[in-house]
Structure 1
């Protein structure tokens, strides 16, 4: 199966297959999807984190993805911004755009319901479960295996932690703590968090820098989690 963008992977994990409603933090998902697009551009060697603290375009060649190419063009044309600033500039209406693309491709469907006679509520139940099944299989292998995952899966795991989307994994309570430890272990060995040097990272240093700075920006934007 052809891989889909990281932002779409996050969204599919966040939306319940049957009810078509988003679970978890709305702002966390929106920030995570904005970060995911920038990470996909970094994975494709299009953007990089510069020494001056800004994200910059290193190759403006389009990828062939409408949403990612629009972001790439925006980063190239706009004045320099930090990762945190780009997250805020990109997150607005991003969810709607990605949902529209998924609907057009038949991955989810748009169910338009009217409440109280005037309020329109949209749900997006799954039409083609194959994509989400592949995502969950990949994450499951990363969480239970003894080997470190590929760059994209490591980045996805890190985004799940940063955006507080671990409940989207739908793990039983007895497995949740171990999964959290494994997610953090993946992020650490990828050089995204912790003390692992970029030279020892399981991913390219250029990618690790982008993911690390975006992950910290998401966590800063969400603030300190409330105690249970």
Structure 2
């Protein structure tokens, strides 16, 4: 199965292609990117789920994976025991977000604009598109998926399922009257995911619930 670099696609989805403004809070951004990286490796059969825990699927990394994927697989491989999806998303989120951001800047897909400092905090960095064709590509894929009768690409479906699990599917469409329709379309498409992915998505839902509880406190 070809490597889709879903972490980069998720990063681009979570930032406005023109202004570079993030579409969600910092923790959700990091968790979204980390979840996409893990999903990509599960779909590529580099990682697998045993119950709710992530394990290395084979003795070597799929040759199609990039350095970010290699880093994730090696991190999982080093552990003496297997950890749950939520643990990996929360642990890897900040590092993977930075790695993906650096990679997209190096590839001249986006540029990084440091957030302005306020009295009590610094505003989030922005990542406006440099190569707008590539920066807006993931969003166009979603629009095709949700408006076409053609079977969607499995990576796009996985990203949609992650966004729903984290409760931030509004990044795809912020029109209140059509949110429910979009979510139903995404959940319907998610039924085509491989057998391991529903368990993975359940783990991501646990991440989203924990973040929501944290905000309410």
* TM-score normalised to structure 2 length: 0.83
Alpha-carbon distance in structure 1 between the residues aligned to 2:44 and 2:55? 13
Alpha-carbon distance in structure 1 between the residues aligned to 2:114 and 2:28? 24
1:27-63 deviations in whole A, cap 9, x for unaligned? Answer: 2221121111111111111111114x32110123254
1:149-199 deviations in whole A, cap 9, x for unaligned? Answer: 232111011011112222322454443332122122223x2xxxxxxxxxx
Alpha-carbon distance in structure 2 between the residues aligned to 1:93 and 1:148? 34
Shift of residue 142, structure 1, vs aligned partner: 1.6
- Which residue does the alignment assign to 2:166? 163
User: What stretches of structure 1 of length at least 5 have no aligned partner?
Assistant: 190-201
Within 5 Å, give how 1:90-129 maps onto structure 2.
Answer: 90-112=92-114, 115=117, 122-129=125-132
Within 5 Å, give how 1:58-73 maps onto structure 2.
Answer: 58-59=57-58, 60-62=60-62, 63-73=64-74
Are the equivalent residues in 1 in contact too, given 2:14–2:171 (CA < 8 A)? yes
Change (3 A) 1:175 1:113: closer
Alpha-carbon distance in structure 1 between the residues aligned to 2:109 and 2:89? 26
Are the equivalent residues in 2 in contact too, given 1:30–1:95 (CA < 8 A)? yes
- Which residue does the alignment assign to 2:188? 185
Shift of residue 128, structure 1, vs aligned partner: 0.8
What's the RMSD between the two structures over aligned residues?
2.9
Shift of residue 10, structure 1, vs aligned partner: 1.4
- Which residue does the alignment assign to 2:136? 133
Change (3 A) 1:70 1:176: same
Alpha-carbon distance in structure 2 between the residues aligned to 1:225 and 1:148? 37
Alpha-carbon distance in structure 1 between the residues aligned to 2:199 and 2:132? 30
Alpha-carbon distance in structure 2 between the residues aligned to 1:16 and 1:110? 13
User: What stretches of structure 2 of length at least 5 have no aligned partner?
Assistant: none
Alpha-carbon distance in structure 2 between the residues aligned to 1:108 and 1:37? 19
> How many pairs align?
210
SS of alignment partner, residue 45 of structure 1: coil
Alpha-carbon distance in structure 2 between the residues aligned to 1:88 and 1:213? 15
- Which residue does the alignment assign to 1:83? 85
Alignment pair present for 1:203 and 2:193: yes
Change (3 A) 1:3 1:47: closer
- Which residue does the alignment assign to 1:193? none
Are the equivalent residues in 1 in contact too, given 2:166–2:205 (CA < 8 A)? no
